[in-house]
Structure 1
Amino acid sequence: MLATILAVIALPLAIGAWWLLKDLIIRSPLDNIPGPRSPSWLSGHLERLFHRHNGWKLHNELSDNYSGVARINGALGKRILYLFDPTALHSVIIKDQQFYEEASFSISFNNLMFGPGLVSTLHDQHRKQRKMLNPVFSIAHMRHMTPIFYQVAHKLRSGIERQVRQSPDDVDVLNWAGRTALELIGQGGLGYSFDPLVEDAKNKYGDVIKATLPAMFSLGGLLFLTPYVANLGPPAFRRWVLDNLIPNPKIQYFKGLVDYMTKQAKDLIAMKRLAFEAGDEAVMQQVGEGKDIMSILMRANMVASESEKLTEEELLGQMTTLIFAATDTTSGALAQIFQLLAQHPDVQERLREEILQAGCGQDIPYDQVVDLPYMDAVCRETLRLYPPATDVYRDSTKDMVLPLSKPIRGVDGKYMNELAVPKDTRIIVAIRACNRNKDIWGEDAHEWKPERWLSSLPSSVTDARVPGVYSNMMTFLGGGRSCIGFKFSQLEMKVVLSVLLGSFKFSLSDKEVVWNLAPAKYPTVGKTSTKPSMPMKVELLKNTSS
């Protein structure tokens, strides 16, 4: 009897130990791919990969010292493929994308954070959601929303001007950019105003969103455990466990942030549903007059067939995803542009002249503002060199073979034109590394040079066939999981730049600004601070008034 009990206990323990340690024992074709030596058999490269400062060094080492692909280690010897070869990326992102799914930890974590929205779903459910959302991110709809963007940008301008007249040496550009991005997705995306954009207004929603990515990244390797706990029992049980049995302060803090965002999204959906029930006049009285993204989506959902209709949870997931994704990434990109313009005053002045000539004191129409050549060059070059997201993760769902654009030399000394990728291999789609690849962009790939976009791109760029949806780069990804809102983001940046650069001059602050690695990078004052912030000196231009 005792022997039977011991056998029952030993068997699952042995299976679990084998599952954990098998990558340390079994050889893999990935072992022949060169990569940096693992600093730890227990955590591999994960501590460096998730370090908000030292992580940059690892990414630079991988992109500078390896040719399109490298192998790094996860926990307990798990092999991870770091990929920035354009041909291999085309296979992963487009050609064979059905066999390279969003990483399981990413899907599970996004689902817990946002619900079953666009970034949390796979296969037919994802395609159904994207099909319903596509029309509201079309160029025609962006053109319609341009006046709303300008209204918000002018409120931003007035708010900054009031602050500049009092203390021009310490304007937190990131804070203003984040508040503006939230207000733009609020009005254009949800038909709701979050922020009056006056200097002293408190905006808890914006503060929560800014705090979320640093809090998420601070969890480090705990993120990879998400798939193993996401389906343990019903949601009520998991919630009880989280509330009562996991005292980790980082997890509890992050939980509070997610709870707040979820509650706000539920309240917004309920308010919008009440307006629909009250009739067209009530909808027209909302911000955006019922032409915002969520109003259009909810209206389309009402008349959709049962097979195409989104559930209440899916609608909530779209709202939380839209608010979060459209705020942090775009505000960070805007802050990066203003910092670069301050570092290159000649570029700032040239861009200002282009804006003033195009606008002549008026708002620049959609078709003109999106095509201003120097404005477009500045935005493209910033998004190429400093993408908001450094990487994303994929998992292979079957044994695959990855083609390469150029052969690499294996650990055994032999050259390989393709890579054998076993099932369940984790792949890092290295966005930043691909965008900085010298084989594609030339020896000056690490330099910020807007002028490179003012003439024809070299054949090395066009021939590489980088599988990104935007301008030969991976910033907004590509294929079926590309960023659906990249036109929204582009319009937002260009409208804000056109309004602010016509009124203000931006210079660097005396305070040290450091960019931190995270799912969407963010700046802080110095390395010790965890509060997202980017102070700048802002001066009101002469002959400019409210």
Structure 2
Amino acid sequence: MFTTLTAPLPAPSTVLYALLGVLALGLATVLYLYPYTARTIPFRNLPGPEPASALFGSLLTQQRAEPGTTYSKWAAAYGPTLRFRSILGSWRIVSTDLRAAAWVLQHTGQFHRQTGFNAMLDRMFGRGVLMVEDAAHRRQRRVLAPAFSAVNVANMMPVFWDKAYELDKKLAQVVSDGEKGGAQVDIHLYFMRTALDIIGLAGFNYDFGAADEADNPLSKSMFAATNGIQKPSIVRVLQIFYPALLPLPTRFTRTLDSNRRIQDKVAREIVAARKAELHDVKVEKKADIGKDAISLLIKANMSPDLEERQRLTDEEVLGQIGSLVLAGNETSATALAWTCLHLTQHPEVQVRLRDELDGVPEDRPSMEELHALSYLDSVVHEVLRYDPPLPQVVRMCVQDTIVPLSQPVKGVDGKLMSEIAVSKGTEFVIPINEINRSKEVWGPDADKFNPDRFERAPGATVPGVWGNLVTFNAGPHNCMGYRFALAEIKVMLFVLLRNYTLEALPSNPRIERRGQGFVQRPFVVGEEDKGIQLPVILRRREV
């Protein structure tokens, strides 16, 4: 995916000085215009907090807090729709208004993903469906989405079951080596490894061997890239907001490029192998080929029914592998980890759920049978409501537009506003945590974990592709793999809870959520130096 260059590259120091010069000039311009923009933005009548600093506004205040906490404080002070200064004098609008959220997510021509974040993901993984917009996104999604239909996800279930029972064997060994039939386990780590193996096999028929701790260069590069982008760094924040700074020769960008070369090499081998299985370019629709997503994509891309202009290029096909890993690995693993945390905090929920699972006669029920388990569905639903893997959606306004509101907001001049004029370059934040915990939608106990809440109808309709939640997004960019994620999560819980009990550690450590930029991950307060972890006590059941 890297273009061969014939002209010599400038020395890194030359590039660095040039970029720093541009940054200094831009910073001087921003500081000069800083007071002026506050008086000229079309949404200046929106209330909001005063910036904590001239350089970063209130962005770092929000980023350094546990996801959702800052927005909740601001909403209590300024209302459901507000504005705040971001980096280098730029602006963000935050709104829990359901009509505004639906409008922004639906109108992808006016609102794109963050340009800098997209550019960084492109550099990390290639131009897959997660990194493109408009016509390119529609074309890629049209070819890829059918691979995640209900029928195709049902065909992937054997992979889910195989990997879930492999995890069971590994956990059984760990527990047997512990004292008194139990052991402390970082359950998040085990879920991460298993989820990577699942997306590898179900996504592109590739065995990472992560559960076996195999020395796999692709898995190492994927973990290094995703971990690197979420580590706090002022330079990285600047690169996300200003893509022109991405060429800066930092340790992070050098790691990205090194990892990308590894990913490209393996991805080309994977795609070549899948293509080899399709021996005839003019493949028939019902040809018996692999059931993994990339095989299905390649088959669809080669179909004679697809117009030439709609076909994906080889580079675009390669880019889907990175998109699949990015979307289908850590999100599922963290959802499972948060589920285990809630089950240790609410043992009565764990007992009731296990009783339901014990009543299933089969060891590998079908996807339909699994989804028919009502309490399992309620628990998963509640976890994805209370602890969505992604805490927020950020969209960049790419053309001046008007966003309607369902709840008029009082401006700083005391007048009510039923719509917001949003100018090009403004970022619009949809706080998933806050919307999912809205008392207007879920009642007075919305800030409590309660799987029984789904026995009653919600108080309002939330924009989303599943479950009256924003968790899987909405509009043209909704998560096409939500069926995959739900089936995977339920399979893993089915096997885990039928074979183990989960308990909190005797020390009862506080688990904090971190990760404003992408996935909100678990950390033990006081043990941040150990990195991401969610320790629990596992005990093998005597069945």
TM-score relative to the length of structure 1? 0.85
The DSSP-based 3-state class of the residue aligned with 1:501 is: helix
| Offset of residue 201 of structure 1 | 5.0
Write the distance in 2 (CA, Å) between the matches of 1:438 and 1:220.
Answer: 35
8 Å Cα contact 1:213-1:520 kept in structure 2: no
Query: Offset of 1:48 from its aligned partner?
Result: 2.2
User: Which 10-residue stretch deviates more, 84-93 or 186-195?
Assistant: 186-195
Task: Summarize the Cα distance change of 1:292–1:366 in structure 2 as closer, same or farther, 3 Å threshold.
Answer: same
Would you say the 8 A contact 1:396–1:425 is kept in 2?
yes
Measured after TM superposition, the shift of residue 59 of structure 1 is 3.1
Question: 1:76 pairs with 80, 88, 101, which one?
Answer: 88
| SS in structure 2 at match of 1:290 | coil
Tell me the residue number matched to 1:41: 54
1:50–1:220 CA contact under 8 A, matched in 2: no
Deviations 1:392-447 (A, max 9, x none): 21122222222212121111122222222222221112111211222222221111
2:118 maps to 1:117: no
Aligned pairs for 1:414-429 (under 5 A) are 414-429=415-430
Q: Distance in 2 between matches of 1:534 and 1:13?
A: 42
Which moved further from structure 2: 432-441 or 310-319? 432-441
Q: Distance in 1 between matches of 2:32 and 2:429?
A: 22
Q: Is the CA contact (8 Å cut-off) linking 1:24 and 1:78 kept in structure 2?
A: no
Which residue of 1 is the match for residue 192 of structure 2?
178
Seen in structure 2, the aligned counterparts of structure 1 residues 121 and 324 have a Cα distance that, compared at 3 Å, is: same
Identical residues among aligned pairs (%)? 30
SS state at 1:222 partner: helix
1:79-158 equivalent positions in 2, closer than 5 A:
79-94=91-106, 96-158=107-169
Q: Is 1:50 aligned to 2:63, yes or no?
A: yes
Offset at residue 294 of structure 1 (A): 0.6
How far is 1:299 from its partner? Answer: 1.9
Q: 8 Å contact 1:171–1:537 — kept in the other structure?
A: yes
Aligned length: 506
Cα shift at 1:171: 1.3
Which of 207, 230, 241 lines up with 1:193 in the alignment?
207
Other-structure match for 1:3:
none
Greater shift in the superposed pair: 392-401 or 138-147: 392-401
Q: Aligned in 2, Cα 1:535/1:14: closer, same or farther, shift over 3 Å?
A: closer
Given candidates 466, 488, 491, the residue that maps to 1:492 is: 488
Aligned AA for 2:163? V
SS of residue in 1 equivalent to 2:404: strand
Structure 2 partner of 1:6: none
Is 1:29–2:79 an aligned residue pair? Answer: no
Return the offset for 1:530. 5.6
Show structure 2 runs of 5+ residues with no match.
1-22, 283-287
2-structure distance, mates of 1:213, 1:316: 18
**Cα 1:220–1:295 shift into 2, 3 Å:** farther
Q: SS at the partner of 1:71?
A: strand
Aligned to 1:372: 373
Give 1:336's aligned amino acid: W
1:209 Cα deviation after fit: 3.9
Q: Does the CA-based 8 Å contact 1:117-1:318 persist in structure 2?
A: yes
Whether 2:490 is the aligned partner of 1:478: answer no
Instruction: Kindly indicate whether the alpha-carbon contact (under 8 Å) linking 2:56 and 2:88 is maintained by their aligned counterparts in 1.
Output: yes
Q: 1:503 aligns with which of 499, 502, 518?
A: 499
Q: 1:428 to 1:196 in 2, by over 3 A?
A: closer
SS at 1:80 equivalent: strand
Letter in 2 for 1:348: Q
Which residue of structure 2 lines up, in the alignment, with residue 524 of structure 1? 523
Q: 1:70 to 1:256 in 2, by over 3 A?
A: farther
> How far apart are residue 494 of structure 1 and its match?
0.4
Contact 1:69–1:81 (8 Å) recurs in 2? yes
- Between the aligned partners of 2:405 and 2:423, the Cα distance in structure 1 is 16
Amino acid at match of 2:444: E
**Whole-angstrom distance in 1 between the partners of 2:533 and 2:220:** 11
**Correspondence 1:93-492 to 2 at 5 A:** 93-94=105-106, 96-167=107-178, 168-195=182-209, 197-198=211-212, 205-206=218-219, 208-217=221-230, 218-220=232-234, 222-226=236-240, 228-229=242-243, 246=249, 248-276=250-278, 290-303=290-303, 304-357=306-359, 359-453=360-454, 455-458=455-458, 460-461=459-460, 465-492=461-488
1:39 deviation in Å? 0.6
Structure 2 residue identity aligned to 1:271: A
Task: Encode CA deviations 1:454-496: one digit per residue, 9 max, x unaligned.
Answer: x1313x22xxx32111111111110000111111000000011
Q: Which deviates the most, 39-48 or 268-277?
A: 268-277
How big is the shift at 1:110?
A: 2.1
Contact 1:82–1:430 (CA under 8 A) maintained in structure 2: yes
Contact residue 56 and residue 517 of structure 1 kept, 8 A = no
AA paired with 1:93? L
Structure 1 residues 128 and 422, CA, compared in 2 at 3 Å: closer, same or farther?
A: same
Q: Distance in 2 between matches of 1:472 and 1:220?
A: 36
The answer as to whether partners of 1:81 and 1:426 remain within 8 angstroms in 2 is: yes
Q: Does structure 2 retain, via aligned residues, the 8 Å contact 1:209–1:328?
A: no
The alpha carbon displacement at 1:381 in A equals: 0.8
Moved more, 347-356 or 65-74: 65-74
Determine helix, strand or coil for the equivalent of 2:135. Answer: helix
